[in-house]
Each structure stands twice: as C-alpha cells, then as structure tokens.
Amino acid sequence: MREVRVELGERAYDILIGPGALPASEGRLRAAIGRGRAAIVADEAVWALHRDVVTAVLGDLPIVTVPSGEATKSWSEYARVSEALLAADVGRDGTVIALGGGVTGDLAGFCAGTLRRGCNLIQLPTTLLSQVDSSVGGKTGINSRQGKNLVGVFHQPSLVVIDTALLDTLPDREMRAGYAEVVKYALLGDAPFASWLEAHGGDVLRRAPAALAEAIETSCRAKARIVAEDEREGGRRALLNLGHTFGHAIEAAYGYDGRVLHGEGVAVGMAMAYRYAEAQGICDGAEAERAVALIAGGGLPTTLGELPAEPLTADGLLTAMYQDKKVEGGALTLILPRAVGDSYVAKSVAGDTVRAFLAQELAEA
C-alpha cells in the first residue's frame, strides 16, 4: 500500500492508496475514529454497491445516505444530513466518515466542519476525481444559487483511504471525468507527468492497477505539497483551479443537472485556459495544442460545441465567472498556462477581454 503524508503540523494526516486499501487499513481507521461516536455519510448508489466491504471493516455504524449528483450539495441536504448526524449522537469527539465521490465528500466534510463547531472527518473516496482531488486538502462546502462551492469551510480530514479496487464499479464516463483532474496536475506544474500520461493515460483509464496507483499517488503528492505550502488558498494553492473558473461557469449554466459532469466542465475549462493564454501571447501555440491533445486523449470534451445543446451566452458565462471565489476587488483571477507543466495565477484579468474570448469560443462551437 502506498502512503502520502500531508504535512500540516498538528493537523497532518496520511493518504493510503492501493487495491484493497480499505480492508487493509482497518487498524488505522479504528485508531483515527477513536472513542467517540462515528457515522457514515454515503452516496446511496455507492452504499448499495460497497456496503458489505465497508461494514466488514467499520462495523454496524449509523448510516446517512445522500442522492448521487451535484444537486446534493445544497442547503436542504446540508440541513438534513446535519440533523441526522446529531440524531446519531455524533459529538465533538465523534467522526463523520464520507463514503462516495466529490459531492458526498464535500457535503459530509462541511457537515463535519460545522457539527458542534467541528468534529473528526475521514474520507473514503470512491471516484477517481475524489481520490485525486476533492478528498485531499480540506476544502468542503455546498453550492448556492450564485455558483459552485460558494459556502463552506476548510476542514482537514484525519485520514484518507483510497481503495483503487472500488473504481471497478465506476462508470466509464465518471472515470474519464476524474481523469481530467489527473491531467490538471500535469498541466499546472509537472511536465514529466504530462509525458508519462501521454504514454500511459490509456492504462489509467483502463484501470490497470499499477498505472492507476501511480497516477493517483503522483496527483496526491502534488496536491499535498501545494496544500502544505498554502492550506487556505492565500496564494499558490489557487493553481489547483486551472480550468476551474471557466469550468464552474459552464457547470452553472447547465444548472448542475448532470448533463455536464464537473470533470467535463474542467476539461473544457482547461482547454479554454490554454486557448485564452495563446490568444494573449502568454502560451506558445504548439504547447496549447499539446495540452488540448492530452485532454482529448482522455476521451474528454475540449470545446463548448462538444457539450449538450444549451443557449449559452458570453455575458451569461462571464457573469458566472465573476462569482468565482478568486475574484478580488471585483476583478477576475485566472490560472493561466505558459506551457505544459507551467501555470501561474493571473490577477486583475480584464473582463472585456474575457468576454470577447468567450464570444469567439461560442462562435466556433
């Protein structure tokens, strides 16, 4: 089993990675739970598939199931799950165990971060996207009418267990969506990893155990380094949002109804970031083409025209982009690439320039 340490002083924790990591980690899980009451918050579809292996490891704990899909990250579900955890007597010394993808982890983490002003959290991510990204780093939250992830807290888990065998039941579309976040780590700051993905990305998507574990560990190590440097996203951590400002605006335009998955929105958003950087003379055209090819090679969309039909407008997308958490002083902040493996935080980006770019992207869709 592979291990990655997230170095955060007294809040440091381990990420355990490998096939069968969940049953192999029984002792570590029980130690992380401690003596307080624990309860599981699980995606209902995941619970139906994996309840036997989970209960074999954790025993008969109280279970709160939540619907699959981005719409679950809502005020109503936050209230319902919080009330259920309180009814299960999860105290300040208790533990919330998140079992599912990024939606479940974000919601359960937010509940853990606010329940009795904060209790213990363990992440058991079951999608590729959550295994390489959302389960690590302590970002939790829900969506609002104004945009994605706009309400939440930073609340680090005490342990993350990534059982790659649980990906065997993941639909191929969800697997590709998670792969977008793997590609992100290569594009934002790891050119050798980009070359590795060009050679082995197909093996990752086919769920070849060695390639899959290597991709997940590399991604987790990249995120762990950045989170250790900038836990609350005051600077460098914003790099992890490459493609997300465009991507979140796309998700908002579709109303989080499942037609566009988060990873699909991020895939298009990353390609747009490269094309925008190329148009502004920041990124060489050949580098932009290579990046877009790497994204497309994962079976992911790279243009707005590849998404389901929707009356998107430049003004509508730009308005959604201004709801991004990185907006400062009313000005856009974008993560822009200089090359494959080299990105930076661009502040005070001109809205008119972005609007013109969006109009061009829509015209070519």
103 in a labelled binding site:
yes
140 in a labelled binding site:
no
Is 223 annotated in the active site? Answer: yes
Candidate list 120, 143, 149, 241, residue with the active-site label: 241
126 in a labelled binding site:
yes
Is 347 annotated in the active site? Answer: no
Candidate list 10, 35, 117, 145, residue with the active-site label: 117
Is 50 annotated in the active site? Answer: no
- Rounded CA-CA distance 3/37 in Å is 27
228 in a labelled binding site:
no
Candidate list 155, 248, 275, 325, residue with the active-site label: 248
Is 326 annotated in the active site? Answer: no
Strand extents, DSSP E, the chain: 2-6, 13-18, 38-43, 63-66, 95-100, 120-125, 142-144, 147-151, 159-163, 332-339, 342-349
Candidate list 139, 176, 275, 325, residue with the active-site label: 139
Find all residues with CB under 8 Å of 211, minimum gap 6, and list them: 200, 203, 204
55 in a labelled binding site:
no
303 in a labelled binding site:
no
Is 155 annotated in the active site? Answer: no
Is 181 annotated in the active site? Answer: yes
Candidate list 237, 264, 275, 325, residue with the active-site label: 237
Give the full edge-to-edge strand order of the sheet including 95-100.
Answer: 2-6, 13-18, 159-163, 120-125, 95-100, 38-43, 63-66
Candidate list 50, 244, 275, 325, residue with the active-site label: 244
Find all residues with CB under 8 Å of 199, minimum gap 6, and list them: none
Check if the beta carbon of residue 40 is closer than 8 Å to that of residue 90.
no
34 in a labelled binding site:
no
106 in a labelled binding site:
yes
26 in a labelled binding site:
no
65 in a labelled binding site:
no
Candidate list 77, 174, 181, 217, residue with the active-site label: 181
Amino acid at 214: E
Candidate list 223, 275, 278, 361, residue with the active-site label: 223
70 in a labelled binding site:
yes
71 in a labelled binding site:
yes
102 in a labelled binding site:
yes
- Rounded CA-CA distance 283/291 in Å is 11
Read out DSSP for 18-40? ETTHHHHTHHHHHHHHTTS-EEE
Candidate list 155, 176, 184, 262, residue with the active-site label: 262
Task: List the binding residues for NAD(+).
Answer: 68-73, 102-106, 126-127, 139, 148
Q: Which residues are annotated as a binding site?
A: 68-73, 102-106, 126-127, 139, 148, 181, 244, 262
The catalytic residue positions are 117, 139, 181, 223, 233, 237, 241, 244, 248, 262
Which parts are annotated binding residues for Zn(2+)?
181, 244, 262
